[in-house]
Structure formats: structure tokens, C-alpha cells
Structure 1
């Protein structure tokens, strides 16, 4: 089981080994099929731990010097429980006819659960996020991350069933062979449907990556420096546009945490930059309301007007932007003393109506959640943006894991995604999921990218969470039926 989890980790960004992911589920099934649920739970946990322990090592790189391995180990242990539940279910349904279908549905069910609980869930490391550039990624346009995960797991479990039980040329063998090949063929056949063509038009979007110290926890207390660095880089953008070294943008995006705002929302430097460029800015930063309650916001800053619209991050990071179990959380997070008040989450989709386009927003960690950008596109967004602050995590794989999420969202909704990061990697992701115009990590850079604008919607956008819930229901029904057949 550890080998299967390690194989799934090997399929994850920044590596482009997407084809290893189905094979990891083949190993999982070979170990669990025919066993009791209790054994399946233990083996599923082992699989999950072997996957998540190296995947989330950036948590240790971030917190390790002061807090040791326990926050990292704790997150892995909790999240591995959901893999254990999937393993128990797989053991229950492994003897049913068509078992690979029910087993793959249970994988989707475990991901659905861990994306919601505890503390708002932790969808990092979902199976679909391993598929950047792969044959399964186009399926996101039809059923989102859930359908991609289902297809990956179905191929792996189908291969395991072929190896375990069936004789060559039997009708059941042929049926399983079709079941195994069909998801790959469907993904490949869908590639033309998620091409980069058919854009309504294109606009120029400027990304300002101002950089930050590579100091991990030392970044606390450096908000003024972060602001100064991003203002300076934005001013260099103004100079480049004035000198025609860069084309004039239609809008400018400064990332999460690139500024701080009090309740008045006044900033003469942002006013000047917007006025000189003559285009709106979208600026990220911590902000407080009149009562001092903090939030993580993106603010639309119009030339000649100033702040006109705001989006508050909906999915806050537990033990960072809000502190569950605050009385004991000091053992696992440095933010208890530095942030005595929890941030206030937003309650609406982030869509900024601007002259150039309707911009949909997901701030940093939110891109892992299905509903955030889905609600934005259903609310009319023609272009998506993921402003993010990855400076805390140094030169780890975290930023590439997050970039892969933007790739899936681009395909899922048929939209270009502009990733604006404080320290990289900033990028333009095209609607087919391909990543272009990337920056380097821990450099100050400014880009002007040509982003396609689209108004049509994919089937995945229209269906929302329905495919996921259908698959969850299938898996649950199979477990109930399997439990009646086995002691």
C-alpha cells in the first residue's frame, strides 16, 4: 500500500507523470480486494499516508524549525482517515459485479468528504490535481475534479480486476477491458472540445509580482515591506508602459497580501498608479472594517475614483486565517499570538464588473474548492484570477501544486486563469489547461499577458456539484448492498 501512495505522489506536480496515478489505484485494489473492511481501512490509511506525507512536506518546511514535525504529521494523519474510509468501502464492494465502478465512486466520495470536514475541509491533493497535461484532464469540462478522479481511479481499479479474477476472452473480461480503456479514450476524444480557440476576444492583463523575503515564519511583521515591494514593481510597470517596453494593459492584478487596508481604504500611491495607467487595479491585502474585524480581500481600484468593489475570501485557511480550538492551537500554529482575532469569511462570489471583462476571483487556497470559481463563472465571469501569497512556503513544491489546481479550473470552466503570486510562480493558464508566461520564484517581475475572454459555459459549470453527488450516491449505495452480501 505504501508503494501505491508513493506512486500517486510521484504523479503529482511539479512532475508531469500523470499516468502513474491510475497505476497507484491498481496497487491499492490489489492489496484490498477480498479483505475485510477493517483491513481495508488500515491499508487505505497506509496508502493515504504514503501519498500525503511527501506531498505536504512544505508544511514542515514552513513550520518545522519552531514547531517540529507534529503539525505536518497531524494533518497527514487526519487526512489519511478519509483514505481509510475509502479503503474500507472498497473492501466491502470488491466482490460486487462491476466492482471497479463502485470502487472509483468511493474514491470520489472520500474526496468529497475530506473537502468539507473538518474545519471547512482540506481538498489539497485531490486526484484531479495530478492530471495537468494528461489524457484525463479534458474530462474536467464535463464533470469537474470529481469526474477526473473517477476516471483515473476507474482505469486503475479496472486494470486490477483484469489482473485478479478474470480469464482471457471471457465476456466479463471484455467488459472490464472496455471499462478500463473507455475513460482514457473519452479524455483523449475531448481534447478538441477544450482547445484554446473560440475566444470572444483578448485583453492585456498585467501581473505585478513584487517579491518578498524568503524567510518562512520570518515573513510575519513584514507587511510594510511586502507593500513597498509591490508598489515599486507596479511603478516600474508604469514606466515600462510609458516607454512602450510593455503593451498597455486593460487591467492590473496585484496579488494577495500585497497591501494592507484600514476601514477608510485610502491609498495615494495606488491612486497614482491607476491614474497614470488609466486602467483599473485589482489589489489584494488584509483589511479591517469599522469594528476592527479583519478579512482577506481583493479590492477593485478604478482610476480617478479609487476603491469601488471588494471581494472577501470565502474559504479561510484553518489554523492560519482562523484558529479552531484556539486554546490548544498554539502548539501547532504560530498565528495564535500574532492574530488574536479570526478573519471574517466572505459570503458571495467574487466577480468584478470592469470595462475590459468580468473578472472572477479565487484567493490562493480557495482555488482548491469547487464552488468558488464555479460560482464566479455562473455569476458571469469571463476571465478568472487566482491572486496568491506563496512566500510563506519558500521554494517548495507547494506553488506548483497550487498552479495545477488553476489548470484544472481553466478546463473545468473553459476560462483563462491569471495567477498573480507575490513570489511566483505567476502565470497565464489557457482554457485548455496549458500553462504559459510563467515567472521565476522569489524574483520581482511584471508581465503583460494576452488573455482570451469567453462567455460560453461548459457542462461542468452548468452542472456544478451534481456529478460529484451522483458518484457519492453510487458509492454509498454499493457499500450498503455489499454489506448485505458479506458478514
Structure 2
């Protein structure tokens, strides 16, 4: 696009951007739309970076050569020490805001290579307690920006939950700040860059563990549109992409810190260690992008050949959340799904309805079960749908596969439940018995079997809702023999916020990690298909009603990640543990 058309391009795209639902500021909308044009965005970003660099240089020269000569050096030093906490706090807030803008739906992934630089500069030289505080400030700003959708789920009940969730997630970055001040050496560029990178990946991995695990907003997800870079995920998982981006951030931060050190000495940039860092940094980034290009050239022909494929139709009913759970509205709701399904021309191999498309138990409603069975027979194909099922005195969030004969040929009960949303963790029930009265409704029971559904055209598994954000759990489905993946969800809870966009982008990494194609059905969007390279295609807009149809190719191999899991994250954990032990080992050796 020529620059002469830039103004009209921005004006045409501003009001159609999904970002308009997430931030009222016009400047963010313009910036988000510019990011959709890589050529223009890159030029503007480079101009901004060069301008800011020039401004910093000029300011530095003025402050050093003029102010320091006019004022007493000790007086200036004391003034800067008093203001240092404010500056560090400001840098953390800036990093938190920039980091949030890099995530969907703004998708300013270019900024993610620099967004953590202010945060790392603010942490430099801080004691452990200070690092904890500044890390918490950065985390609170960041998670407030990307998790604000929790506030609107069921207010006022979820307001308290949202605040606690943001605090809980911010504590992980507080832990990063605390440990960073211990293991990141200021005099060693290699230790500063790589120890902090190992620590960052370790913290991100820890966020995914346990019943309270919630790996939302990882650094890697800022790169979901960077097709070449994310191919490394088939080896390292999503955390390898985070590592590469963070290493670049840390290297830039270290270079800036060396420039700001007093007295200034150009020889700091010509040390052997800096040369090694440059070689490693260039080598890592070049290798990752080279591997990505090779992977694309290797899998592209396989995707085009499509020797083994399955024809899948996705139905997006866009059922109003205020009516969806009303039993009196069930007939109209099912009528929407059946009506859209009836509009299909020809017979696909599989039809997908979203999570809890059927909001009442089929076991307790034989008439409804017979109606669904009769409908399945009339369409002469397989149908998979979500249902809120009641069985043996327990509720389940279930996916069922109905055969062309109208029989339920397979079922999967959601294993990883949303804490406090679907079930209260047993530990919290024991500690806080009053939660049973505060949180309405009965807990949903967790499933125990990772079902692989049998279909004449291929085997597949179905993950439900936010199960797709856990890479370690999705790989277990693939390891059991699934040849493609279905994800059903209901993101209507979150309204027109950033959540549906971020949730969809996460599935891109699950496709690349396991080299598997994904069909995603969401009640209100985003529904769509993702191929083995992580390219979305035929996806819907949020809060629209309709259906889409496409062919998915079957998995024809097993990736390193599918086979071995998060070995890269384990290596980062071990490296972090060793780096943390170094100060203690040095102290022991000095005493002896």
C-alpha cells in the first residue's frame, strides 16, 4: 500500500477493528489497525525507536555535561536516589501496558521484542524486596489489562474473583522480580540475559501447574501471527517462543543499562563476553527463523496434498447468554442449531456444535434424547455436541458423539475444570467452608478418561473450553492416537472483550506443537479451523450466527513435543535452580 493511501486506510479500518470493544482511546485503535499492515507498521515503529533513542542520547548528554557541572554531584546523586523508586515504578507500569497491547486483539507483536525492556531496567540493581514489589506492580497492570473480562462474567459476584485472580497472577511476576534481583548479574551480560530468560520461562511454566494453573497471556502468544517464529514450538512447546522473545528483550535492556552506567565507557561494548552474547543472540534468532522456514516448506506440500482428510462443518448458534440457561428457551436454542445445520448443502463427515449447546441432561429427559437422536438420523452423519449431563448423582460438562444411527457412540467429560467457575478446589473447601454458601450452584465433576473418538474418516479428541490453554494436557490426547482435534467452547460469558480473540490465538500453538489440525466451535465465536502450521482459516466474527465448513487433513507424524512434552521448560527450571544456588555455594566456599 502506498503511503498516500495511509490516511484513508486508517479511517476505513478504525471502526471495523475488534480493538474498538476493548479500549475507547482512538490512538490505540489507529495503532492496532496499522499493525495489520506490516510494511507501514515496521517503518513507523523504526522511526519511533530511532527518535526515542536520539532523545535519550540528547537528554543524557545534557544532563551529564550541563546539569552535573552546574550542580553539586552529591546533591544530584541524592535527588536521583529519592526519585529512583518512582522511575522504576513508572517503568514497570509502562512495560505492563505495552505487554498487554502486544496480545490479541491489538496484536502489536512487533512491540513484544521491546515491551519488557523498561521492566528489566527498572529491576536492575534492586534488592529482593524491591524486586518483588516492582514485579507485582508490573504484573498487576498487565493482568488487569488482559483479564478485565472476568469482571463482567457474573457481576457483582465475579468482581471479587477477578481482583483475586489478578493479584494471584501478579504474584508470579512478583516472584520473578524477587529472584531476578538474586540471580541476574549486573556485571556479566551472559548471566544477566540468559539467567533472566531461564527464570521467565520457569515462571510461565509454573503458572500452568495445579488446579489453579492459568497460563493465560504468555509472552509467546504475542507472536501468534508470526508464522515462521512459532514453528519451533513443535520442539520446545510454546515456552521456547517465549524464551527467544525474552532473550532479545534482556539483551536490549542490558545494552541500555551499560550505556546509562557512570562513568560512560565505550569499552564495555567491546569485551569478549559482549562478543559472545552477540554471536549467541544472532545465532539463536537466525536458527529459529531458519528452522521455521524449513518447517513451512516441509509441511506445506503435505497440507496441499490432503491424501487423508475429513469434511467438517461448524455451527455457531450465538445463543444469548441471558437466555441460554433458561429451560424455557431450550426449544428455541436447539431450533437455532438444527435450523443452521439443515442449511448445509451435501453431507459433511462431522458436524460440531459448541460447548453446552444442550443445557439440560439427556439422561433425565428421554423425550429430548429421542429428539436429538432422531435429528442425528435425519442428517445422516456424525454430530458432536456439548451437553450439561447428570449421571450417577453428579454433573458433568460433557461432549458426546452421536452416530448417523442416532446412538451415542462416545463421550468425553471435561477433566480440567475452571476453578471456582465449574468447581471449587477441595483444598479451598477445607480451608474456607463458607465458600459453599457464597458460590452458587453445584460443582461439576471432573472426568478421568482422555477419550479418543472413533470416526470412519479418522480418530479425534475433543477438549472443552479453557482446556486448550494447557499445552501439556492437549499433547496427551494426541499421544493417545488422535489424528485431529476438536475444541468446543462458550466464550459468550466474556462479552465483546479481548477474551475470545486471545482464546482463539492460543489454539494456534496447540496446532503447531502437535502438528495437528484443529476445528473450533464457539457459541458466540471465534469459531474456525487451524492447520498444522498454525494458520487460521475460515474463522467467524464474534457474536454472529452462521456456519462454516472446511476439510481437515489428518495427523501423519509425532512431534518431539508430543512425544517428550515440556523438556525445554524442565531444562529452564533446572538452570534456574542452579543459578539460584550459586550465591550460596560461593558463600560456603569463602567460609571454608
Instruction: Normalising by structure 2, report the TM-score.
Output: 0.75
User: What does residue 197 of structure 1 align with?
Assistant: 301
List per-residue Cα deviations over 1:348-396 (Å, max 9, x = no partner): 2232121112112211110111222101111111111110011111111
Give the alignment partner of residue 106 of structure 2, picking from 12, 15, 22. 15
Q: Say if 1:62 and 1:393, in contact at 8 Å, map to a contact too.
A: yes
Q: Could you tell me how far 1:223 is from its partner in structure 2?
A: 5.5
Moved more, 21-30 or 296-305: 21-30
8 Å Cα contact 2:323-2:329 kept in structure 1: no
- Contact 2:380-2:404 within 8 A present in 1 as well: yes
State which of 534, 537, 552 in structure 2 corresponds to 1:436: 537
Q: 1:52: which partner in 2?
A: 143
Matched residues, number = 471
- SS class of match (1:387): strand
Q: CA contact under 8 A between 1:123 and 1:368: conserved in structure 2? A: yes
1:277 aligns with 2:379: yes
SS of the equivalent of 1:320 reads coil
With CA pairs under 8 Å and 6+ residues apart, which has the higher RCO, 1 or 2?
1
Q: Deviations 1:205-233 (Å, cap 9, x if unpaired)?
A: 010111111x5xx4573366367424433
Correspondence for 1:248? 347
Residue 261 (structure 1) aligned to one of 346, 361, 371:
361
Equivalent-residue separation in structure 1 for 2:323 and 2:468 (angstroms):
23
| In 2: Cα distance, 1:439 partner to 1:413 partner | 24
1:156 and 1:180 in contact (8 A); partners too: no
| C-alpha distance 70-484 of structure 1, shift in aligned 2 (>3 A) | farther
Cα separation, 1, equivalents of 2:349 and 2:286: 40
CA offset at residue 23 of structure 1?
A: 1.3
Q: Does 1:321 align with 2:422?
A: yes
SS at match of 2:154: helix
The alignment's C-alpha RMSD in Å is 2.3
Note if contact 1:358-1:380 (Cα within 8 Å) is conserved in structure 2: yes
1:161 aligns with 2:254: yes
Q: 1:301 to 1:131 in 2, by over 3 A?
A: same
Is the Cα–Cα contact under 8 Å of residues 208 and 234 in structure 1 kept in the other structure?
no
Alpha-carbon distance between aligned partners in 1 of 2:198 and 2:587, rounded to the nearest angstrom:
19
Equivalences for residues 24-423 of structure 1 within 5 A: 24-64=115-155, 66-67=156-157, 69-95=159-185, 97-117=190-210, 119-134=211-226, 135-165=228-258, 167-192=268-293, 193-194=295-296, 195-199=299-303, 200-213=307-320, 215=321, 218=322, 221-222=325-326, 225=329, 228-241=332-345, 247-259=346-358, 260-263=360-363, 267-290=369-392, 292-324=393-425, 325=428, 327-329=433-435, 336-337=439-440, 339=441, 341-423=442-524
How does the TM-score come out when normalised to structure 1? 0.90
1 CA distance for matches of 2:138 and 2:587? 24
For the residue of structure 1 that corresponds to 2:445, the secondary structure is coil
CA contact (8 A) 2:402 2:409 kept: yes
Cα distance in 2 between the residues matched to 1:389 and 1:68: 17
Query: Would the aligned equivalents of 1:206 and 1:253 in 2 still touch at CA under 8 Å?
Result: yes
CA distance in 1, matches of 2:239, 2:451: 23
Asked if structure 2 preserves the Cα contact closer than 8 Å seen for 1:207 and 1:426, the reply is yes
- What is the alpha-carbon distance in structure 2 between the residues aligned to residue 182 and residue 2 of structure 1? 32
Q: Report SS of the residue matched to 2:302.
A: coil
Residues 52/238 of structure 1: CA separation in 2 closer, same or farther (3 Å cut): same
Deviates more, 1:96-105 or 1:438-447: 96-105
Partners of 2:515 and 2:448 lie apart in 1 by 24
Contact 1:287-1:295 at 8 Å conserved across structures: yes
- With over 3 angstroms needed to count, the CA separation of the structure-2 counterparts of 1:412 and 1:230, relative to structure 1, is farther
Q: What is the distance in 1 between the residues matched to 2:349 and 2:158?
A: 46
Unpaired stretches in structure 1, ≥5 consecutive residues: 242-246
Ranges in structure 2 where 5+ consecutive residues have no aligned partner = 1-91, 259-266
Q: Distance in 1 between matches of 2:450 and 2:332?
A: 29
User: Which deviates more, 69-78 or 394-403?
Assistant: 69-78
